[in-house]
Every structure is written in C-alpha cells, then in structure tokens.
Amino acid sequence: MSWAWFHRFASPPWVYGFATRWTPWFGGAALLVMLWALYGGLILAPPDYQQKDAFRIVYIHAPSATLSMAVYATMALAAAVGLIWRMKVAHAVAAACAPIGAWFTVATLGTGMLWGKPMWGAYWVWDPRLTSELVLLFLYFGYMGLRAGIEDPQKADKASAMLAIVGVVNLPIIHYSVTWWNSLHQKPTRLLGEADMVWAMVWPLLLMFLAFFLFFAAVVLIRLRAELLRRERSASWIREVLK
C-alpha cells in the first residue's frame, strides 16, 4: 500500500481542489437524503405507543447527539495527526470541525429540552446524557476560546490540538461520572431512541443519520478551504484559486 494517497492529503492545493469538487456532491446528497428521511419520519412512521407523536423529535435529537460526539472525535483525531506528523492540513481540519460540532451540541440540547417539556413537564432535566452533552459544549467553548486566545496560527494549532486530545480522553470519564452522579439521586430516565421501534420508525432514523453525516462532510470541506487559505503563505497556488 503506497503512501502516495496519504502524502496527497498532506498537500494543501490538492486538498483544496478535492474539497471544491466534492462539496456540492455531499451537500446535494445530504439534502435529498434528509428530505426522504423527513418524509419517512414525519408521515410514514406510526406514533410511539407511549410517547405518541412526540417521539418524532428523535429524528433530529439522536443524529445531532451522535454528530456532536463524532465531530469532537474527528477533531481530536485530526489534531493528533497534525501533532504527530506535523501536517498543516490536519490542523486545518480540526479548526474547521470545532464550530460545526458546537452547533450540533446546541441542537442536541435544544431538541432535548423541547422533548423534555411534554414528557416530564420541565424544559431542563438533569438526565445524564443531556448533562454530558452540556459539558461537551463547554469543551467546545474551551477549544474555540483557546484558539482565539493565541495569535500565532502555528502555536494556536498545536495548543488547541493538545487540548482536543486531552478532551477526548476525558469525555468517557466525564460521561461515566455524570451517569454515576445521576444514578445516586434519581431513577434512570428513559430518553429518546430507546423506544422499541418498529422498522417503519427505524429506517427514517438511519437515513437521518446518513443525511447529517453527509451534511457534516459538506460543511467541513467548505470551512477546510477557508482554513487552508488562512494558513497558506506561499502565493503560488492561491493565485489561480482566487482567479
């Protein structure tokens, strides 16, 4: 297995071209799959026997929650690659991921609160998953705060990469400690998605996951192009890109 493809990913101009070519495809696919999933989830899927139609919030809540974690993991992986192989492109990917992940976390918290009100009569419930999601949001704020606090782009890349790695190591511990804390004081609450769902409910959810991932790919490639331009100093390949 030649390392050529890996080195190609290390060269900003090639990655910029790749991102430019693939963004519309990912964006378009995300839109189509999402529409199809919405149709399935809102119209075809039967209501849940217990939560009735309120359960349909799962179609936004679950994919956002998964994405908020997956994006942080992608960020930490890109950060590690950036630090180990000193690849500027990897740091650019990590920088591109952060705001998207933070927004997904906001979406998860928002939909979680909107789901909690009908089910438990309160917008905010100290459910272990929601609480972990809140701490994850603070981790994103910390990452973006550190990156903003350091002027020199190269140093900002390395310091925030370090924080992302430390954060991803701590995420499971935080989740475990929050679950422990919750079990001490409350009976475990059944959050969305654990309902025993029939296939008609499940396939739209899977499609929604796919739509969110495709959407993430499209947006991260756009932001990656912006980050690459910010980091690129030698004028050579920028000239024709900006023509």
Partner 1 sequence: MLNVSGLHLWRGDRHVLRGVSFTANAGQCVLLTGRNGAGKTTLLRAIAGLLDPEEGQVQWRGASARSTRDEFHSELAYLGHEPPLKGDLTGRENLRYLVGIRRTLSADEIDAALTRTGARDFADRAVRTLSAGQRRRVALAGVLLSGALLWLLDEPTTNLDADGQQLVARLIEEQLARSGIVVAAVHHTLSLGAGEVVPLELEAA
Partner 2 sequence: MRTGSLGVAQLVIARDLRLAFRKPSQLLQPLMFFMIVATLFPLTLTPEMSRLRDAAPGVLWIGALLSSLLALESLFREDAQDGTLEQFALSGQSLTWMLFAKTCTHWLLTGLPLALSTPIVAVPLGVPTEALWSVVASVALGSFALSLIGAISAGLTLGARRGGVLLSLLTLPLAVPILVFGADATHQAIIGGAIGPPLRMLGAIAVLGVTLAPLAAAAAVRIGLE
Partner 3 sequence: MSEFLSMGGYGKYLWPSFVLGIGIVALNFWMALGSLSKAKQEARRRLEMLS
State the minimum distance, in angstroms, from the CB of residue 155 to partner 1: 10
Tokens matching residue 11: 């060269």
**Using the rule CB under 8 A, is 177 a contact of partner 2?**
yes
Answer yes or no whether residue 113 interacts with partner 2 by CB under 8 A.
no
- Pairwise CA distance, residues 128 & 174, whole Å: 10
Binding region for partner 3 (CB under 8 A) out of 111-119, 146-154, 157-165, 170-178: 111-119
Vertex 150, ends 81 and 89: CA angle to 5°? 25
Place of tokens 């790695």: 165
Q: Is 21 in the site for partner 3 (CB under 8 A)?
A: no
The residue among 205, 212, 194, 214 whose CA lies nearest residue 41 is 205
Q: What track of x and - describes contact with partner 3 for positions 26 through 65 (by CB under 8 A)?
A: -x------x---x----x---x----xxx-xx-xxx--x-
Tell whether residue 142 is a contact of partner 2 (CB under 8 A): yes
| Residue 13 token pair | 């101009």
Site for partner 1 in 196-235 (CB under 8 A): 233
Rule CB under 8 A: say whether 128 interacts with partner 2. no
Among residue numbers 69 through 108, which ones bind partner 1 (CB under 8 A)? 86
d(CA 175, CA 44): 35
Taking contact as CB under 8 A, which single stretch among the options 86-94, 95-103, 160-168, 209-217 is the one that binds partner 2?
160-168
Nearest in space to 41 (alpha carbons), one of 210, 206, 191, 213: 206
Which region, left, alpha or beta, applies to residue 86 given φ > 0 means left and ψ of -120 to 50 means alpha?
Answer: left
Question: With CB under 8 A as the contact rule, which of the stretches 73-81, 155-163, 195-203, 235-243 interacts with partner 3?
Answer: 235-243
Residue carrying structure tokens 């999601």: 133
CA distances from 86 to 89, 188, 234 (A): 9, 44, 18
Work out whether 187 is an interface residue with partner 3 (CB under 8 A).
Answer: no
How far apart (Å, rounded) are the C-alpha atoms in residues 43 and 239? 50
For position 242 contacting partner 3 by CB under 8 A, the verdict is yes
Residue 156 contacts residue 75 (beta carbons within 8 Å)? no
Quote the CA–CA distance of 197 and 241 in Å, as a whole number: 49
Residues forming contacts to partner 3 in the complex (CB under 8 A) are 27, 34, 38, 43, 47, 52-54, 56-57, 59-61, 64, 99-100, 103-104, 106-107, 110-111, 114-115, 117-118, 212, 215, 218-219, 222-223, 225-227, 229-230, 232, 235, 238-239, 242
Residues forming contacts to partner 1 in the complex (CB under 8 A) are 86, 151-154, 233
Residues forming contacts to partner 2 in the complex (CB under 8 A) are 135, 138-139, 141-142, 145-146, 149-150, 152, 154-156, 158-159, 162-163, 165-167, 169-170, 173-174, 176-178, 180-181, 184
